[in-house]
């Protein structure tokens, strides 16, 4: 069978041409047309690969520009003290300083707001990893009546907008009575008793514990697909050794699902940290600590008026500094975990 020349490298192509040319000389035949045809196929393949590389680079540069332009613009404004518009300093400021950052720290009440964001985002992310792993393992490994229907409902939660149930959630947390446990004390005092959870991190933690937090359906789906791709022999060996189903999950399956857990944890952390819509309903009291994203966006309209009335300070510059301080923790976390995160995404994709 003749070698397919269009799939050969340049060196292999030259060697094959020399070999065929030698065969033609020994046989007394010359076929220049065939050589030209095979040569044109080789160079056509190389030309197509070159054009595809140019097209791919063009797409990547365009997408990078869309993503990185706001970041570079934000950094330029955050450290710039060129409060008077100048055609000289557009990207690189003439006067670089930390004045904008100091004002942003003061305005955001950064220490208190940062701790509120950490409690909401980190606590919710950890709880969602646990709840999603247990639920996803149940859907992946156990057969019970209504499993398909229940999993379909889980997937439906991914497309239901929070605007539909947010008011109901607010009223539930405003008059919280878990399983009506306060009915007896209410009878004793003669008045309806309830707990007000509005303004506390429990409004985000409780849905995370129950697996219905932000994007909870997606996280359950990720774990379910991951566990379905794992070998059943691991569980069978654990059952033979006397492990219970829950013990098998804790000792065998959970340690082997760290890649999926890392993906879910980082996604949940980022989404809870940046969330504004749900937290704006649950943290309505201005007297209590609120997450950074909520403080930043809720005070944007009055920024530079209530606190920074000095006309020498540009409102836009301080806003960019505040935005940079808000996303800085996420950038630091990703800088330390990007290698493991990319590897985990690849593993989760393969297992799914």
If asked whether residues 19 and 147 sit together in one domain, one would say no
| Across 215-228, average pLDDT | 90
**Could you give the C-alpha distances from 295 to 94, 163, 190, 286, in angstroms and in order?**
30, 21, 40, 9
Does position 351 have pLDDT exceeding 60, yes or no? no
Compute CA 273 distance to the chain's CA centroid, rounded to the nearest angstrom.
Answer: 11
Check whether 5 has a pLDDT greater than 60. no
Q: What is the pLDDT of residues 104-128, one digit of tens each?
A: 888 888 989 999 999 999 999 999 9
Predicted local confidence at residue 25, as pLDDT: 66
- Tens of pLDDT, residue by residue over 128-170, are 999 999 999 999 988 888 888 999 988 888 888 888 888 888 8
Q: Is residue 70 part of a domain?
A: no
Residues 116 and 251 in one domain: yes
Q: Are residues 239 and 294 in the same domain?
A: yes
* Residues 57 and 123 both lie in one domain: no
Same domain, 219 and 106: yes
Instruction: Give the pLDDT of residue 26.
Output: 66
Structural domain range at position 320: 100-351
| pLDDT, position 28 | 56
Q: 272 and 323 share a domain?
A: yes
The answer as to whether 175 is a domain residue is yes
Whether 239 is in a domain gets the answer yes
Rounded average pLDDT over 42-58: 83
CATH number at 266 reads 1.10.3720.10
- Which pLDDT value is given to residue 134? 93
In a domain, 14, yes or no: yes
Are 171 and 268 found together in one domain?
yes
- The yes-or-no verdict on residue 251 having pLDDT over 60 is yes
Q: How many Cα neighbours within 13 Å face the side chain of 195?
A: 13
Q: Could you read off the pLDDT of 272-281 as tens digits, one per residue?
A: 999 888 888 8
Lowest-pLDDT choice from 8-12, 251-255, 280-284: 8-12
Q: Are 11 and 151 in the same domain?
A: no
Is residue 80, in this structure, part of any structural domain at all?
no
* Rg for the chain, CA atoms, rounded: 30
Specify if 114 maps to a domain. Answer: yes
86 within domain boundaries: no
Share of the chain above pLDDT 70, in %: 82
- Return the minimum-mean-pLDDT range out of 74-83, 113-122, 210-219, 225-234: 74-83
Whether residue 281 sits in one domain with residue 164: yes
To the nearest whole number, what is the mean pLDDT of the chain?
Answer: 81
Same domain, 157 and 297: yes
The answer to whether residue 83 is domain-embedded is no
Q: How many domains does the chain have?
A: 2
pLDDT for 1: 42
The residue-averaged pLDDT of 71-93 equals 75
Note the pLDDT tens digit of each residue in 288-318: 788 998 888 877 666 654 444 455 556 778 8
Check whether residue 111 and residue 216 sit in a common domain.
yes
Q: What confidence score (pLDDT) does residue 352 get?
A: 39
The pLDDT value given to residue 84: 61
Q: Are residues 40 and 167 in the same domain?
A: no
**What is the structure's pLDDT at 241?**
84
- Predicted local distance difference test score (pLDDT) of residue 208: 92
pLDDT in tens, 171-198: 888 888 877 777 677 667 766 777 888 8
The label of the residue with tokens 């006309």 reads 311
How much is the pTM?
0.77
pLDDT band at 88 (very low <50, low <70, confident <90, very high): low
Highest mean pLDDT: which of 181-195, 209-223, 337-351?
209-223
């Amino acid at each position: 069978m003749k070698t397919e020349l269009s799939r050969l490298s340049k060196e292999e192509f030259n060697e094959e041409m020399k070999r065929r040319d030698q065969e033609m000389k020994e046989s007394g035949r010359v076929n220049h047309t065939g050589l030209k045809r095979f040569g044109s196929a080789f160079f056509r393949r190389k030309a197509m690969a070159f054009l595809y590389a140019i097209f791919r680079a063009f797409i990547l540069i365009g997408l990078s520009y869309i993503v990185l332009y706001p970041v570079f613009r934000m950094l330029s404004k955050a450290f710039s003290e060129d409060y008077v518009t100048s055609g000289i300093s557009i990207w690189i400021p003439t006067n670089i300083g930390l004045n904008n950052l100091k004002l942003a720290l003061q305005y955001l009440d950064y220490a208190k707001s940062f701790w509120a964001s950490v409690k909401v985002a980190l606590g919710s992310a950890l709880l969602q990893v646990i709840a999603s792993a247990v639920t996803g393992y149940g859907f992946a490994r156990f057969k019970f009546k209504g499993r398909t229907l229940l999993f379909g409902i889980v997937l439906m939660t991914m497309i239901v907008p929070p605007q539909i149930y947010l008011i109901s959630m607010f009223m539930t947390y405003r008059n919280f009575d878990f399983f009506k446990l306060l009915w007896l004390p209410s009878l004793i005092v003669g008045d309806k008793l309830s707990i007000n959870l509005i303004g506390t991190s429990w409004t985000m933690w409780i849905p995370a514990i129950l697996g219905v937090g932000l994007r909870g359906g997606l996280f359950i789906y990720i774990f379910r697909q991951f566990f379905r791709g794992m070998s059943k022999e691991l569980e069978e060996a654990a059952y033979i050794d006397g492990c219970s189903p829950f013990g098998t999950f804790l000792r065998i399956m959970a340690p082997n699902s760290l890649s999926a857990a890392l993906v879910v944890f980082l996604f949940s952390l980022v989404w809870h940290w940046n969330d504004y819509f749900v937290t704006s309903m649950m943290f309505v009291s201005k007297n209590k600590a609120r997450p950074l994203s909520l403080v930043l966006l809720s005070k944007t309209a009055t920024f530079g008026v209530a606190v920074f009335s000095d006309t020498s300070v540009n409102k836009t510059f301080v806003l960019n500094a505040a935005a940079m301080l808000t996303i800085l923790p996420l950038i630091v976390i990703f800088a330390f975990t990007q290698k493991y995160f990319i590897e985990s995404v690849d593993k989760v994709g393969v297992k799914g």
